[in-house]
A and B are shown apart, each in its own frame.
Chain A
Amino acid sequence: MRQILRLTVNGEAAESLVAPHQSLADFLREDLGLTGTKHGCDLGDCGACTVLVDGEPRLSCITLALECEGREVTTIEGVARDGRVHPVQEAFDRCVAAQCGYCTPGLVLSCVALLRDNPSPSEAQIRAGLSGNICRCTGYTKIMDAVREAAVELAGQAPSPAEGSRRD
């Protein structure tokens, strides 16, 4: 039986009737039309479906939408600030860190969370922070470049509310 789900998506309150077996990815894509979140493996392996829930990366393909009651979800559509794409997105663009682009929304969100928690990560810390997101095209080199550039860029700026608050 469908149940009422209340949550915040990209800063806006949302209320919807959802079926218990709807994953968060299905809900975002089909009910809210936020198709930036991708279905890759659909089994928790690849990270293409990564979104932020209360600021933390989460695999939306293996999360029930109803488990997000009262939470704050940020998708790739919600990371832009003041009408400008996020510095992480800009860095991905500049460094040509996307080829087919399928992994990119998930990677950008993992990267946003990584740089929020650790503004100047080491090489090993970047690798660990992105280890849940598989890219089959780039070979990761340009993604690494983009993260390093974004870190430098963000170091000069104040944090934005779009990156989500952490609720531990």
Chain B
Amino acid sequence: MMRLPAFDYRVPREVGEAVSLLAEYGEDAKVLAGGTDLLPSMKQGLFTPKVLVSLRGMAELRGIRDAEGGGLRVGAATTLRDVARDPRVLALYPALADACSTVATHIIQGTGTLGGNVLLDTRCTYYNQSAFWRTALGFCLKKGGDVCHVARTSPTCMATASADTVPALILMGANARLVGAAGERVVPVESLYTDDGRDWNTLRPGELLTEVLLPPPAPGSAILHRKMRRRQAIDYGFLLAAVRVDGDLAGGLTDARVVVSCVGPRPVVTPLGDLVAGRPLTAELAEEIAHAAARPAAPLTTHGVMPSYRKKMIRVTVRRALDTLRGEPSAAV
């Protein structure tokens, strides 16, 4: 049986109180939302916080509200299931609803939160293991060691961004509201991530994510979420991709963007405005977009699935998503 290490447990009733607790305990504190990422990791000895600050006492962090001027404000502690089932989310942001319902299993979707997903730790087959396993091999850069087992000469950690909702959130232009003892700021979700899997997010010490802000969808824009995993339930992805096209599919596009994740510490964003401008979404253009999206991604041995296969499947996955938009059965192989 795997037990949790001991810690103290606090349940603040409002954001101000939560933020002062986080400031008071500093590095010793961790935020507990649904716990579906944090608690398994603590059982594996990856974190040993002295205090967990639970979000359960703050009703203001749960629920989905209409934003002034259109769009939605999703409380960070809203469960993935509540996001996926919200009629407004389904109508305005179907790719986000879709992404929430590919996380783990329906049981975990009822516990895990959108905020916890946005701040899901980076993952790697050499890191997400028991202390016993990691001791046997020798610790890695991300936890206690001085070498990356994936890229032995790398000065930085290669653990991968793995959150299902993030590629779609980036393409939607979603923002994050962060509240700290020094005040609050609103930043694009895209700017939350870095190139080093150890120090992988840009939150300042003690900052709490309170809301994910979804701007009104741009007219004439479509976003699709795609995930590849070994089993169609439970498993994290070995590849995540989200595709956005703007404009008239038959008459001529104005813009396109693709986000690929599970291939490195941050999601890889490829802007394709120049490639697509004025062109209709033909099979030929779909293939060009798919190639362009695959080019910058360099999957490594972070997953138990071959990097060469994952690389190839980026092109195939993006192509298939675009073929779905075109209403054509995909010939991508």
Contacts and interface: CB of A to CB of B under 8 A. Distances in A.
Given A20-B52, A62-B35, A64-B39, 12 more contacts: A3-B9, A19-B6, A21-B5, A26-B3, A42-B1, A44-B39, A44-B40, A44-B108, A58-B107, A58-B111, A59-B108, A63-B39
Interface of B: 1-9, 11, 32, 35-36, 39-40, 43-44, 52, 54, 56, 104-108, 110-111, 232-234
B40 A66 contact: no
Contact of A62 (B11, B39, B106, B110): B39
A23 B107 contact: no
Contacts of B3: 21, 26
A119 interface: no
Interface range on chain A (Cβ under 8 Å from partner): 20 to 34
Contact of A39 (B1, B6, B36, B40): B1
B233 A132 contact: yes
A57 B39 contact: no
Contacts of A128: 106, 233
B111 A59 contact: yes
A45 B236 CA distance: 11
* Interchain residue pairs A-B with the least CB separation, the first 9: A132-B105, A20-B9, A131-B233, A132-B107, A21-B4, A42-B2, A43-B40, A62-B39, A57-B107
B111 A45 contact: no
A110 interface: yes
Nearest to B85: A168
A21 to B, nearest CB: 4
Specify which of A67, A110, A128 lies most central, judged by the most chain B CB atoms within 10 Å of its CB: A67
B234 A131 contact: yes
Contacts of B44: 43
Contacts of A1: 8
A134 B32 CA distance: 26
Contacts of A132: 104-108, 233-234
A20 B6 contact: yes
